[in-house]
Amino acid sequence: MKKIALLLIASSLSVGMFGCAMAPVDPGSFSLQQMEVRDGVDIKKLGDRIDLSRKTRGRSQVVILPYEGKKISAADGLQGQLKISITEAGGEIIDRGLSKQLSEEVALIESMGKSKYKGTSLANLAIKTDVTNVAFEKRFSEVRYWKDKEGKSHKTPASCSYKAEVSAVMSFYDVNPLALKKTVTISGAKRSSTETRNSSCPISQAQMDSLIALAGQDAILDEVDKIKNVFSPKGIIDEYRMDEGGKTSIFRTTLSPEIGASPGRKVKIWKDVSYTNQFGKLIKERTVIAEAEVVEAVGGSSDSWILVKKIEHAKKVKLGDTVEVDFKRSWKERMMDGAGRVL
């Protein structure tokens, strides 16, 4: 009954999530609007940045640093799911001999707080995973006889239940220059059970390792939004169009539907702000201007087009502003993910 109920929930949620998909838009039917640049922006340099951004499509080149330790099965589960998450976010996993060198430089940062690493053009992010805890427990349950509300007799067979738990800290490093960018603490658990009269609950090492690896995968999935947003694609806005009624605003970006910015994805548009504080120190900040959604272009497009629903927000967007994919699941999507893992 539990599985049937979960399937029904997942089915109803999928209708709610995907039944109201936004209709494709035809950029050619929208009027091209003049865009201003922000104060201090060199238009020629901006053009070069846009050309480069369109070539790279904001894709992150990621190096996964090798795991060292005894808890290999947990690390296998963590890193296996991590690779899937990086790919889903549009990132590219590379090595080319960098993992060993970067591991040594990261160790220097952790021990001495600094590194002489000059950086590389081959990658812009490195990820290190430290497994902080792995726990495994088993429990035997005797056969149980019971009656329901209608007085019918039932029997619950003797069984053994197993539970694996994994905790880890993920450290994300900018490579150019090498510096800690963000840390994410994760934890996950996985359970299984089997009918048996053997109270010692025997289990092979391979079965135990498999359950621990699945717990590692679960740990990644529970925090997958935070993880994906570390290497989410970032692009530039280079065109603004508006419909005849002046109510609908769409923007062309250097992002690509093929690399993380597919229709339906949410994005944030932000600007860089810099100022000198009262102590004479230059402060750089990023301010979110608007939120938008990637829309499908009629006839297809190699560029991702985004829709800003509020016209007052659209008017604040300038030529050259940054647009970034925001991986944030709704509560419905989270429930579907949870239901899928229970099944």
- In the chain, the percentage of residues whose pLDDT exceeds 90 is 65
Residues 216 and 71 in one domain: yes
Residues 123 and 261 in one domain: no
pLDDT in tens, 47-106: 999 999 999 999 999 999 887 666 778 888 898 999 999 999 999 998 767 787 788 778
List all residues 6 or more positions away from 234 whose beta carbon is below 8 Å from its beta carbon. 58, 322, 323, 324, 325
332 or 103, higher pLDDT: 103
Q: To 5 degrees, how large is the angle CA 13–CA 19–CA 22?
A: 130
Co-location of 210 and 316 in the same domain: no
Residues 74 and 209 in one domain: yes
Residue 333 has what pLDDT? 67
Phi and psi at residue 177, to the nearest 5°: -80, 170
Residues 243, 307, single domain; the answer is: yes
Assess whether 65 and 84 both reside in one domain: yes
Instruction: Determine the pLDDT at residue 34.
Output: 94
Same domain, 274 and 180: no
Band of residue 30 on the pLDDT scale cut at 50, 70, 90: very high
Helix axes 331-342, 2-18, angle to 10 degrees: 150
Rounded CA separation 254/244 (Å): 25
Q: What is the CA radius of gyration of the chain?
A: 25
The verdict on residue 6 lying in a domain is no
Q: pLDDT grade, residue 283 (50/70/90)?
A: confident
316 shares its domain with 224: no
Whether residues 80 and 215 share a domain: the answer is: yes
95 within some domain:
yes
Same domain (yes/no): 41, 108: no
Q: Which residue range(s) make up the domain with 123?
A: 61-131+166-187+199-231
Confidence at residue 4, expressed as pLDDT on a 0 to 100 scale: 40
Q: Specify whether 253 is located in the same domain as 210.
A: no
pLDDT in tens, 122-166: 788 999 999 999 999 999 999 999 999 999 999 999 999 999 999
Count of structural domains, the chain: 2
Q: State yes or no: cis peptide before 257, omega within 30 of 0.
A: no
pLDDT at 102: 83
Q: Are residues 278 and 170 in the same domain?
A: no
